[in-house]
Amino acid sequence: MIQAKSNRRAISVDELLKTKFKMMAFDGEFKQSFGTPEMSGSWLIWGNSGNGKTRFTLQLSKYLTKFGKVAYNSLEEGAKLSFKRAIQQTGMISVAKRFIILKGESIEQLTERLTKQKSPNIIIIDSVQYTDLDKKGYKNLINQFPTKLFIFISHAEGKNPKGEPAISIRYDADIKVFVQGYKAFVTSRFGGNEPFTIWEEGAMDYWKDKN
């Protein structure tokens, strides 16, 4: 696999065209929503509490274990009962060998972990508001690990991510997901872009009077 060197400021058109990217061959409803995404860069998921954001993130995490080792850095919920229940309801025990839970690692601790051999390929950070990341820190993290995929979770203000760091990530992210009423509304640079239903019964109940 040929990859563009991160420490170079420019590459030729020929080099770019020869560059190969590691893609994830999504199928089914995940392909309809996400297309065929690259296994690097950053995604952002945001939404208000009680709309299915954690459930969706775990459903996505479970699916992503098909493509690599997933680390869920739970800065917000940690080992709380609510998170344990969400893990049980999503059936994460079936992918336990490819899914690990990090109990609130700081960005510095996470960075150290990711420098080691056989470290996770896909990292979920829940949530942006519980890190000390600013725009520069975010870019440094992404640039330091150009072959890894970072998925950031954010609180919301209305229909927008909450706070300047999360807003900056949204502009940069390859995939943006807004969760509302047990549906995930996906904007992807890789195709798809169909809404993803997180919980059929909950979504029907939420949206029945809004359509």
Where along the chain do its domains lie? 41-196
Residue 6: is its pLDDT beyond 50? Answer: no
Q: Can you tell me which residue has the tokens 């051999």?
A: 117
CA-wise closest residue to 166 among 206, 138, 192, 196:
138
Residue among 68, 175, 82, 168 at smallest CA distance from 123: 68
Between CA 207 and CA 211 the distance in angstroms is 6
> For residue 3, is pLDDT > 50?
no
Domain 41-196 in CATH: superfamily?
P-loop containing nucleotide triphosphate hydrolases (3.40.50.300)
Q: Which residues fall within 8 angstroms of residue 117, CB to CB, at 6 or more apart? A: none
- Pick the more confident residue, 35 or 83: 35
pLDDT band per the 50, 70, 90 thresholds, residue 9? low
Handedness of CA 106, 120, 95, 184 (dihedral sign): positive
